[in-house]
Amino acid sequence: MELAIETTGLTKRYGSLTAVDKLDLKVERNTIHGFLGPNGAGKTTTIKILVGLLKPDGGKVTVLGQDLGWDKPEVRLRVGYMPELPKLPKHLKGTELLDIYGRMCGMTKEERKKQIPELLDVVGLRERENDLVGKYSKGMQQRLGMAQALLNEPELVILDEPSIGLDPVGMVEVRETMKGISREGVTVFLSSHLLHEVQQVCTHVTILNKGVALASGTLKEISAKISGPVTIEAEVEKISEAVVKKVKELPFVTAASADGKKLLVELDTRDDVRSEVSQAITAGGGIVVSMNLKGESLEDVFMGLLAKRKEGRS
């Protein structure tokens, strides 16, 4: 397994506060890896260490197979980084900013001439390319932040809360961009507090709380770590004993019970079996009005992990 990011025992303290506590993080290449955690979990601190803005107090960091060290531009040459709510120099025009950053990345004039208009098209800023960044809206600055992160065709893109400040259309575009660059073989490391965003685009997830990794792996692997069954809650017309019996006969159902029009089904699988359950209800004479899968979403997993951690401490 080739790794884009690997940290071992990574520690960062601010005075008496330990922001990152012996973090072991593995991000596989060619994945979209979500980095989840509540505010103050240590996500941005970890990311700033990865891009050389902060110096760790302990542990080892490897990025794209190279020891990170301190102030090593050769590592950053292969990494694109979009900070949370990027603060870009307001005295430069959009296209000037990308041109100067491109030169800092060592791009030739031809490369810049070809790539900058393309990137501005991708982020929808082509018409405003000659405006000063100071005149851009927050959303536009966010888009420009994304463009500068992709400028040097990096092998690893680190995005810190890329959807903040964007309208719904912008959010969708950012997600599509992430999927697009991932298809081209770029590893994406995405810090986000938007669980549904992570669920929609990420293949892998690390959940961080108070500087400690609570879980890491594929979405399914993490879900499997959570105790407690996945359940289906269905609203059923003409609910009867026959309906409950038919559902109980399904091999992956551990329990089923009716409460008025509600049918509660406990499962021992994390696969999406809603169509099978629906067929069983129909076979028993019931009519499915609605059906929800619970305990499978990243939000459930996330909340479950945080709850487990709290229980462990109390």
Partner 1 sequence: MKMSASHTSWTTKFLAVVTYEILWNIRKKKFLGMFIVAFAFATLSLAGSYIASAITGQPVQQNPDFVISSNVGLGGFVFFLFAMVTVMNTISAEFESGTIVPLLAKPVSRTTVFFGKLFASFLTLLATYFFLLIYMAIGGFVAYGPQNNLHLVPLSLLGAVFSTLIWISIVLLLGALSKSSLMAALGALGIWLGTTIIGSILGALLGLGWFLTYIPGPGTSGYVGEPPPLGMGTVVSTGTDSIGPNLINYILHPSWEVTYYKLNLGGMTPGQVLWERLYSEPFSALILKSVAVAITYFVVFVGISWFVFRRAQITE
Which residues are at the interface with partner 1 (CB under 8 A)? 14, 48, 51-55, 71, 73-78, 81, 83, 86-92, 96, 100-101, 103-108, 111, 145, 148, 152-153, 155, 184
Least distance (Å) between residue 238 CB and partner 1: 59
Smaller CB separation from partner 1, 44 or 192:
44
- What whole-number distance in Å separates Cα of residue 145 and Cα of residue 134? 13
Cα(157)–Cα(69) distance, integer angstroms: 19
Residue 131 vs 300, nearer CB to partner 1 = 131
Burial class (CB in 10 A: 0-12, 13-18, 19+), 153: middle
Paired sense of beta strands 79-82 and 156-160, if any: parallel
Distance CA 169, CA 193 (A): 18
Q: Which of 26, 11, 7, 9 is nearest to 187 (CA)?
A: 26
| Minimum separation from the CB atom of position 61 to partner 1 (A) | 15
Q: Which is nearer to partner 1, 91 or 196 (CB)?
A: 91
Residue linked to tokens 């609605």 = 290
User: Min. distance of Cβ 73 from partner 1 in angstroms?
Assistant: 4
Closest to partner 1 by CB, 35 or 302: 35
Give the nearer residue to partner 1 in terms of CB position, either 21 or 160: 160
Concatenated DSSP letters of 103-132: HHTT--HHHHHHHHHHHHHHTT-GGGTTSB
Q: How far is the CB of 155 from partner 1 (least distance, A)?
A: 7
CB of 149 to partner 1, least distance (A): 9
